[in-house]
Structure 1
Amino acid sequence: MVLIDRIRLCLEKLLEVFTVFLLIALTTIVLAAVGFRLLGASLHWYDEVASIGLGWLTFYGANLAAIKRAHMGFPGLVGSAPVALRASLFVISEIIVIGFFVVIAYYGYLVLDILAWDRLVSLPSISLTVTQSAIPISAVLFILCELLSMPGAWAKMRHGIDSEHEAIEEAIRMAEQDLQESRS
């Protein structure tokens, strides 16, 4: 179990660094485009590259949310159900999510062969295979994130721990700690 936790933490940190990099890169591109546009020299590749960057940020950000189990759900509803029903709902939801991303990974990979000869319109030196690779890669990463975070989620579900209430209680605890530190 310790190995799984280490791998999960390493992947989480890697995803955090990568998504922050994507966010900074996208912000820099947008600000540069605005600056160049103000100077009357628009960047011809801005729209295409920014939309691809936003797509990548969305896909890889979703992976980060998956490994943290931070996607929207119904933890209060599931947590209030009897243990057997909770376990069934958990297993069914995991099968649906992982199955969905298996399909996305498979067809995303097939699309890469179709796009192998296409290039970006504004930057013809960049293949669409590179830009669209985020689809199958992030789908496989999503499955990995689900599998790595599953043992912790299973334990919380078995004990009836509601992740939303847990997050709220943690935020309250941190706010109270900050308040006490500010008073001292």
Structure 2
Amino acid sequence: MCSSLKTWLERGLEVFTIGLLLALTTIVLAAVFYRAFGSSLIWYDEVASIGLAWLSFYGACLAALKRAHMGFPGLITAAPVALRSLLFAVSEIIVVGFFAIMGWFGYQVLEVLSWDSMVSLPGITMDITQSVIPISAALFILCELVSLPGAWQKMRSGIDPEHEAIDEAIRQAEEDLKESKS
């Protein structure tokens, strides 16, 4: 169940973040095109800023699911199992707690922002643009919890995720090299 949820979440976040990236790229290219011909899109700056924020927030959720955020896995892996387990548990509690607080207050702010709208596109209220905060906070927590069992198992086994990623990259490069020689 957890594996299929993780796969579904990963594919969904990949599709969504790639869609955001493509939309943002299209908006920027269109703005450059319009400015090159003496015109400009009045809504470009505001929409591009919001799009970049959305891409960052949802991209962070995808990174959380893949456990790709920066950390100190080598330091943790070198510690004894009991200390490693304690550090892992404390760090997970801090991360989930932080995003729970961020999500809660992000949700509270939406009510205040519902009365305001974008300057360049007054038909779009700020609560829509800022909904990324509570939604991505909830998604981040979900991604942390879904990826938790695998991360816990690797941590208990003493597997350093950085070394694991490096070993995988080397294996893939060697495979690619063999294929190119064939």
The answer for the alignment partner of 1:10 in structure 2 is 8
Amino acid at match of 2:150: G
Moved over 2 A (4+): none
CA–CA separation in structure 1 for the residues paired with 2:157 and 2:139: 27
2:77 alignment partner, one of 76, 79, 86 = 79
Shift of 1:115: 0.3
2:133 alignment partner, one of 121, 128, 135 = 135
The answer for the alignment partner of 2:119 in structure 1 is 121
Shift of 1:96: 0.3
Shift of 1:7: 0.4
Shift of 1:107: 0.2
The answer for the alignment partner of 2:165 in structure 1 is 167
Shift of 1:118: 0.4
- 1:134-168, Cα deviation, whole Å (9 max, x unpaired): 00000000000000000000000000000000000
RMSD: 0.3
- 1:33-82, Cα deviation, whole Å (9 max, x unpaired): 00000011100000000000000000000000000000000000000100
Shift of 1:87: 0.2
Amino acid at match of 1:87: S
Shift of 1:88: 0.2
Percent identity among equivalent residues? 67
The answer for the alignment partner of 1:36 in structure 2 is 34
TM-score calculated relative to the size of structure 2: 1.00
Shift of 1:108: 0.1
CA–CA separation in structure 1 for the residues paired with 2:114 and 2:51: 19
Q: What does 1:62-73 align with in structure 2 at a 5 Å threshold? A: 62-73=60-71
5+ residue gaps in structure 1?
none
1:105 alignment partner, one of 103, 110, 114 = 103
Amino acid at match of 1:152: G
CA–CA separation in structure 1 for the residues paired with 2:74 and 2:7: 26
Amino acid at match of 1:144: L
Q: Helix, strand or coil: the match of 2:114?
A: helix
The answer for the alignment partner of 2:176 in structure 1 is 178
- 1:15-35, Cα deviation, whole Å (9 max, x unpaired): 000000000000000000000
Q: Does 1:151 align with 2:149?
A: yes
The alignment covers a number of residue pairs equal to 182
Shift of 1:125: 0.5
